[in-house]
Amino acid sequence: MRILIKNGTCLVFGKGEQKTNIYIEDKIIKEISSEEKDADKVIDASGMYVFPGLIDVHVHLREPGQEYKETIESGAKAAAKGGFTDICCMPNTNPVNDSPSITAFIKDKALKAGFSNVHPIASLTKGLKGEEICDYGELKQAGAIALSDDGRPVTDSGVMRRAVEYAKAFELPVICHSEELSLSGKGVMNEGIVSTRLGLTGIPDSAESLGVKRDIEVGSLVDYSVHIAHVSAKKTIEIIRNAKKSGTKVTAETAPHYFTLTEDAIDLFDTYAKMNPPLRTESDRLAIIEALKDNTIDIIATDHAPHSDEEKIVPFEEAAFGITGLETSLALSLNLVFSGILSMEELAEKMSINPGKVIGINNSLFEGNQANITIVNPDFEWIVTREGFVSKSKNSPFIGKKLKGICEYTIKNGDIIWRRQN
Amino acid sequence: MEFKKKNILDINSLSASEIEFILDTADSMKEINERPVKKVPALRGKTIVLFFQEPSTRTKLSFELAAKRLSADSVSLAASSSSMKKGETLLDTARTIEAMKPDILVMRHSMSGAPHFLSKFLKCSILNAGDGRHAHPSQALLDMMTIREKKKTLTGLNIAIIGDISNSRVARSNMRGLVKLGNNVKVFGPPSMIPFKIEEEFKVSVSRSMEEALSDADAVIMLRIQKERQGANLFSTDREYSRFFGLNRENLKNAKKDVLVMHPGPVNRGVEITPELADSEISVINEQVSNGVALRMALFYLVSGGSKNENSD
């Protein structure tokens, strides 16, 4: 199909914001120019921003094993709706994605679903147990795009060292869930004033910063760039910033909830605001924003963690960690642009270019590149509702909130996989 | 004053005047407990369910007696004998209870916020009889009642709360209530038992020694070392704890002469308090228990709309 996207403000690779047209043919961006090419489908993108296809490097789909929370199909559809042409799914399924057969199963399911590209992340260690490393080479051949034990750290530093070293052989990115478990203990929220108020066990920020310090050390020891997942704390940012300054190769992501909400969202016992790492304080939130600005944090990822009501409509301590994120991430991140923190171009870096660099996918808008494109309406205001989610799960702390900005079209390999309905 | 609260979930949601009104009502209930026939018909026809997911002796008995003395029908349900043992969720159990139309649900739960959680779904009144580390409003109210009764005031007093503040719902509710009424509250314990930013959150001061905490105290509330709730290594041994963080005749000399020694019970004798002190004339531990029944009668009465029809009986 030939598609012409006209009159949009396009975030063209190397040129920034350009008022131009994009012409797609044979799944490829054929031409970026002011010319109005003849096409089967013309999209009028007046007043809209044309982004390189958004990439989310941190998503939990629950298949295989917990299909009642999310399937590969429902998750990929939620991703398409959220503007993501590509998502990477974490291996903490049941069974764990630690074998080429599971990796291939996920790829296959995603292909059949037909929405966003789903790139499986295989586990660093067998069964996420932190003991034995997996067959990274075979996993890569089966389609694994990265490695992670996300959900828990590899507690043994020696195992972590060998895992990162071995990953290097296959040039597979290593995504670190960095946490010192002995400090987080049985904590259920940030250790701070709200945990003191509510009598809930706290997770100190040091549990994260110490974990991150360890993982950066391991990366530096074996001279391989590790990627730090879901940064939530100011202390962590200082560690990453210093590491980068001293020339250590490392990348880092945060999630929209960490630059939007604080621990106050939990009062009184709101389980939708429960996640790990936990929401922190206002000073942490501001530090995250600063870190996005100065590129200490390279990437915005969602940590999309769907859970059913059975896991969330329970007393706080019993509730599962995590929130659904794919469908609210873009609007929450656009808010950084509206409030003058990032430019649209910088947002495209955080949500497409930089995550692409980590996992080896390039969705940049240039002639000849694969047509993975997200068309964003920055002015559209909407209210988050339970019913509005296409994900199977509704566990969002943003339900009832008014957001601005939405994905109008998601185009993957030249196919429109999402068109917002009025 | 008309009391409009349907639930008593924590002290935080009560105003100073509501607290005083509850204490006044409790004072007037006290007399009933001294009569030869300890029963009034105030809550005749009302059903009260006591749902205790955690073990409890005195609190449960106290609520139960309070219900009976107001002529309410009370039944109690222990988690160990309930279908929660069979894997039923808290919400399903509560909905099952509610389907049998109780007027008031008294609940104790090991998880902070459990009664708040249920209050979003249930129509009946909920009285929190202790949730995790969060709140124990009836205990704090009976403590305040006891202090007010003995000191003839409940403002401007120096009150020390000593022990495992982190794990204590009694401490949280007492700090909230006592500070709300204008008292000076000092807390003391090993730093492993003092939660983060407690000064900022509860407007109390953290003392650096037993002597400092007790100095000029009008009342001292000793907390139980909650062995069942304890993570590892909050303190070394009972012996050392009692030496440095326990109450004894010697360190109590720093307090006012007429200091009240209080304890929510059950007491670990010889750990947080010397047995001799617990049994002495300055200990009001038994008065606390007696007042507890009257206070809980007041709570039942008020959440049932008692203050709206003062003269109907």
Q: Same domain, yes or no, for B283 and B156?
A: yes
What is chain A's alpha carbon radius of gyration, rounded to the nearest angstrom? Answer: 20
User: pLDDT tens, B182-206?
Assistant: 999 999 999 999 999 999 999 999 9
Q: Do B196 and A317 touch (CB under 8 A)?
A: no
**Distance in Å from the first CA to the final CA of chain A:** 24
Query: What percent of chain A is predicted at pLDDT more than 70?
Result: 100
The answer to whether the beta carbons of residues A114 and A410 sit under 8 Å apart is no
Q: What pLDDT is stored for residue B78 in this prediction?
A: 77
Q: Same domain, yes or no, for B91 and B153?
A: no
Q: Same domain, yes or no, for A31 and A86?
A: no
Q: Same domain, yes or no, for A386 and A259?
A: no
Q: Which residues have a Cβ under 8 Å from the Cβ of B200 and sit 6 or more positions away?
A: A193
Which residues make beta-bridge pairs with A407? A376
Q: Which residues does chain A have within 8 Å of residue B231's beta carbon, measured at their own beta carbons? A: 185-186
How many folded domains does chain B comprise? Answer: 2
Q: What pLDDT is stored for residue A301 in this prediction?
A: 98
Q: Which residues does chain B have within 8 Å of residue A192's beta carbon, measured at their own beta carbons? A: 196-197
Q: Same domain, yes or no, for B126 and B143?
A: no
Buried b (16+ CB within 10 A) or exposed e, B116-130: bbbbeebebbbbbbb
Hey, is the C-beta of A269 within 8 angstroms of any chain B C-beta?
Answer: yes
Q: What stretch of H or E contains B282?
A: none
> Residues of B near A (CB-CB distance < 8 A)?
89-91, 109, 111-114, 116-117, 131-135, 169, 172, 195-198, 200-202, 231
Question: For all residues of chain A together, what is the average pLDDT?
Answer: 98
Residues 64-103 of chain A with CB under 8 A from chain B are none
* CA–CA distance, B61 with B44 (Å, rounded to integer): 19
Q: Same domain, yes or no, for A181 and A298?
A: yes
Task: Pick left, alpha or beta for residue A269 (phi over 0 → left; psi -120 to 50 → alpha; otherwise beta).
Answer: left
Q: Is A303 a catalytic residue?
A: yes
Q: What pLDDT is stored for residue B80 in this prediction?
A: 67
pLDDT-derived band at A335 (thresholds 50, 70, 90) equals: very high
What is chain B's alpha carbon radius of gyration, rounded to the nearest angstrom? Answer: 19
**Distance in Å from the first CA to the final CA of chain B:** 18
Q: Which residues have a Cβ under 8 Å from the Cβ of A321 and sit 6 or more positions away?
A: A274, A275, A276, A305
Q: Same domain, yes or no, for B102 and B196?
A: no
Judged against a pLDDT cut of 80, whether residue A297 lies above it is answered with yes
Q: Same domain, yes or no, for B202 and B254?
A: yes
User: pLDDT tens, B213-270?
Assistant: 999 999 999 999 877 655 568 888 889 999 999 999 999 999 999 999 999 999 999 9
What is the amino acid identity at position B259?
A: V
Q: Same domain, yes or no, for A351 and A282?
A: yes
Partner residue facing B113 (CB), from A185, A201, A315: A315
Identified catalytic residue from A284, A303, A309, A415 = A303
Hey, is the C-beta of A315 within 8 angstroms of any chain B C-beta?
Answer: yes
Residue A309 structure tokens: 């009501």
Hey, is the C-beta of A202 within 8 angstroms of any chain B C-beta?
Answer: yes
User: pLDDT tens, A107-142?
Assistant: 999 999 999 999 999 999 999 999 999 999 999 999
Q: Same domain, yes or no, for A32 and A79?
A: no
Q: Which residues does chain A have within 8 Å of residue B195's beta carbon, measured at their own beta carbons? A: 195-196
**CA distance to partner chain A, nearest, from residue B57 (Å):** 22
User: What count of other Cβ atoms lies within 10 Å of the Cβ of residue B68?
Assistant: 17
Judged against a pLDDT cut of 90, whether residue A389 lies above it is answered with yes
Judged against a pLDDT cut of 80, whether residue B83 lies above it is answered with no
Q: What pLDDT is stored for residue B312 in this prediction?
A: 42
Hey, is the C-beta of A314 within 8 angstroms of any chain B C-beta?
Answer: yes
How many folded domains does chain A comprise? Answer: 2
Q: What pLDDT is stored for residue B236 in this prediction?
A: 87
* Pairing of the two strands A415-419 and A402-412: antiparallel
Residue B3 lies in a domain: no
Q: Which residues does chain A have within 8 Å of residue B200's beta carbon, measured at their own beta carbons? A: 193
Partner residue facing B172 (CB), from A199, A310, A316: A199
Question: For all residues of chain B together, what is the average pLDDT?
Answer: 93
User: pLDDT tens, B89-98?
Assistant: 899 989 999 9
DSSP, collapsed to helix, strand or coil, labels residue B76 as: strand
The CATH number for A214's domain is 3.20.20.140
Q: What pLDDT is stored for residue A298 in this prediction?
A: 98
Q: Do A200 and B196 touch (CB under 8 A)?
A: no
Judged against a pLDDT cut of 70, whether residue B310 lies above it is answered with no
User: pLDDT tens, A79-109?
Assistant: 999 999 999 999 999 999 999 999 999 999 9
Residue B79 lies in a domain: yes
* CA–CA distance, B95 with B104 (Å, rounded to integer): 13
Residue A364 lies in a domain: no
Judged against a pLDDT cut of 70, whether residue A311 lies above it is answered with yes
Query: What percent of chain B is predicted at pLDDT more than 90?
Result: 85
Instruction: Report, as an integer, the average pLDDT of A236-252.
Output: 98
pLDDT-derived band at A49 (thresholds 50, 70, 90) equals: very high
**CA distance to partner chain A, nearest, from residue B32 (Å):** 35
**CA distance to partner chain A, nearest, from residue B13 (Å):** 11
Q: What pLDDT is stored for residue B313 in this prediction?
A: 41
Best to test chain A binding among B7, B84, B117 (most A CBs inside 10 Å): B117
Structure ipTM: 0.94
* Pairing of the two strands B205-206 and A402-412: unpaired
Q: Same domain, yes or no, for B114 and B162?
A: no
Residue A396 lies in a domain: no
Q: Same domain, yes or no, for B28 and B106?
A: yes
Q: Do A193 and B132 touch (CB under 8 A)?
A: no
Judged against a pLDDT cut of 70, whether residue B308 lies above it is answered with no
Q: Do B231 and A185 touch (CB under 8 A)?
A: yes
Q: Same domain, yes or no, for B281 and B177?
A: yes
To the nearest 10 degrees (0 to 180), the angle between helices A72-82 and A100-113 is: 60
Q: State how far Cα A176 lies from the chain centre.
A: 13
Q: Do B111 and A268 touch (CB under 8 A)?
A: no
User: Can you give chain A as a three-state secondary structure string?
Assistant: CCEEEEEEEEEECCCEEEEEEEEEECCEEEEEECCCCCCCEEEECCCCEEEECEEEEEECCCCCCCCCCCCHHHHHHHHHHHCEEEEEECCCCCCCCCCHHHHHHHHHHHHHHCCCEEEEEECCEHHHCCCCECCHHHHHHHCCCEEECCCCCCCCHHHHHHHHHHHHHCCCCEEECCCCHHHHCCCCEECCHHHHHHCCCEECHHHHHHHHHHHHHHHHHCCCCEEECCCCCHHHHHHHHHHHHCCCCEEEEECHHHHHCCHHHHCCCCHHHCCCCCCCCHHHHHHHHHHHHCCCCCEECCCECCCCHHHHCCCHHHCCCCCCCCCCHHHHHHHHHHCCCCCHHHHHHHHHHHHHHHHCCCCCECCCCECCEEEEEEEEEEECCCCCCCCCCCCCCCCCCEEEEEEEEEEECCEEEEECCC
Sheet holding B219-222, edge to edge: B205-206, B184-188, B158-162, B219-222, B260-262
Domain that residue B282 falls in: 137-287
Instruction: Report, as an integer, the average pLDDT of A388-416.
Output: 98
Q: What pLDDT is stored for residue B255 in this prediction?
A: 98
Q: What pLDDT is stored for residue B81 in this prediction?
A: 63
pLDDT-derived band at A412 (thresholds 50, 70, 90) equals: very high
Q: Same domain, yes or no, for B130 and B157?
A: no
Residue A122 structure tokens: 């295989």
Which residues make beta-bridge pairs with B47? B73
